[in-house]
Chains A and B, each alone.
Chain A
Amino acid sequence: MVEPVQKTMTQAEYLTWEQRQTERHEYVIGFVYAMAGGSRRHNRIALNIASFCLTNAPEHCRIYQEGMKLQTDSAFYYPDVMAVCEPEPDKDFFETSPCLLVEVPSPGTKDIDLREKLLTYQSLPSLETYLVVDTDAHFVRHFWRNEKGVWQQQDSTDTGDISLACLGTTLSMTQIYQNVF
């Protein structure tokens, strides 16, 4: 279970407080939640995707792996991989307009990634693609916004290509799971 630290904070209090912490915390409507460390597979998958993006994305896009906060209307998250192609926001400590988000669930975060973050991420006007990547099998759940702005979804197993529209490139299952199993 994900336990909140007891005291509630405003967004401004959280941002100041978190800079002094030795571990990272997400923030959801007043509560902060410590982030668990990831498994080796989790880290390899996230790094595979982030390094593919870094190599293939247009120059003006910023790629992050786990270390950068995303601000939504009521929360701050640390996405496992985030790509942002909009101009830099004024604030140094978070992004607000990603076009690609990736989560690699661990046992404690699966429901959050497939439910809460899915709903919250899909409400971001800038987002075009959200991937949830399994660590136990070759399995990716792929959500994307079509030309009409309607969210679509598809599961990919084993092989196949996933379009990363905002980066103008295609990511393969082989690249995601390279050296993972």
Chain B
Amino acid sequence: MFESIQPSLSVQEYLDLEKSSKERHENIGGHLYAIAEASQRHSRITGNIFTALWALSNGLGCRIFQNGMRLRIGEATFYYPDVMVVCEQEEPDPYFEVNPCILIEVLSPSTKTVDLREKMLEYKRLPSLHTYLIIDPESLFVRHLWRDEEGVWQQEGITGSGDLPLPYLNATLSLSQIYRNVFN
């Protein structure tokens, strides 16, 4: 059931490998997990969100990434969030970010459990994170998690239509923007 025994990689070995690898890998404590190809809907949703937030983010001096940038959590955990917004000015490293304020994951059959459980637990540890959105590509449904004024995490599910506040960007993101041209 387990993959054959491989020595776990150091952070530097992992970063070097990712630069030359054809596929991307997440890294959990030195063990790598390949990222599966995304579906049409998945790609359209991440594209819609990236497009909606790109000008806003850049206007505020924030960096926005779609799929391609690593997020490092703690010592040896690396993810590729579907969409990531970072408003900290300082770049920690050319190859990863550490202080996002917004993270967005679009579910797929192979990542659903990780997105809903593991990433929710790990992302919550980031002191910089304010908003985590989990988007369902099968129906108009977004799970919205945010840190309230007292620093306590809140969550709600939004079905059909509605606006998601993104206070870091002084903006809202609507379900119609997220799902534009996805179900036709």
CB contacts between A and B, total, < 8 Å: 73
What residues on A are CB-neighbors of B164 within 8 Å? none
Contact of A112 with B121 at beta-carbon distance under 8 Å, contacts A105-B1, A118-B29, A157-B5 already known: no
What residues on B are CB-neighbors of A8 within 8 Å? 155, 157
Contact of A110 with B113 at beta-carbon distance under 8 Å, contacts A119-B29, A153-B30 already known: no
Partner of B77, one of A4, A110, A112, A119: A119
| Interface mask (B47-60 → A, CB under 8 Å = 1, otherwise 0) | 00000000000000
Q: Are A119 and B117 in contact (CB under 8 A)?
A: no
| Interface mask (A25-39 → B, CB under 8 Å = 1, otherwise 0) | 000111101000000
Minimum CB–CB distance for B34 against chain A, Å: 13
Interface of B is mostly: mixed
Contact of A2 with B122 at beta-carbon distance under 8 Å, contacts A8-B155, A110-B1 already known: no
**Bound Cα distance A8, B116 (Å):** 13
B77 and chain A: residue at smallest CB distance = A119
**Bound Cα distance A105, B114 (Å):** 16
Q: Are A30 and B155 in contact (CB under 8 A)?
A: yes
B112 and chain A: residue at smallest CB distance = A1
What residues on A are CB-neighbors of B183 within 8 Å? none
Q: Are A153 and B29 in contact (CB under 8 A)?
A: yes
Q: Are B1 and A28 in contact (CB under 8 A)?
A: no
Q: Does A21 contact B (CB under 8 A)?
A: no
Q: Are B116 and A31 in contact (CB under 8 A)?
A: yes
Q: Are A115 and B114 in contact (CB under 8 A)?
A: yes
Partner of B114, one of A29, A33, A111, A136: A111
What residues on A are CB-neighbors of B1 within 8 Å? 105, 107, 110, 134-137
Q: Does B8 contact A (CB under 8 A)?
A: yes
Q: Does A165 contact B (CB under 8 A)?
A: no
Contact of A118 with B124 at beta-carbon distance under 8 Å, contacts A1-B109, A1-B112 already known: no
Q: Does B95 contact A (CB under 8 A)?
A: no
Minimum CB–CB distance for A45 against chain B, Å: 12
Q: Are A115 and B28 in contact (CB under 8 A)?
A: yes
Q: Are B28 and A118 in contact (CB under 8 A)?
A: yes
Contact of A119 with B30 at beta-carbon distance under 8 Å, contacts A107-B1, A136-B1, A141-B2 already known: no
B73 and chain A: residue at smallest CB distance = A119
**Bound Cα distance A28, B116 (Å):** 9
What residues on A are CB-neighbors of B33 within 8 Å? 115
Minimum CB–CB distance for B63 against chain A, Å: 25
**Bound Cα distance A137, B31 (Å):** 20
Chain B, range 82-133, C-beta contacts under 8 Å to A: 109, 112-114, 116-118, 120-122, 124
B residues sitting closer than 8 Å to A (CB atoms) are 1-2, 5, 8, 28-31, 33, 77, 109, 112-114, 116-118, 120-122, 124, 145, 153, 155, 157
What are 16 sample pairs from A and B whose C-beta atoms fall under 8 A apart?
A1-B112, A2-B112, A8-B155, A28-B121, A29-B120, A31-B116, A111-B114, A115-B28, A116-B118, A116-B121, A119-B77, A119-B122, A122-B29, A136-B2, A151-B29, A155-B5
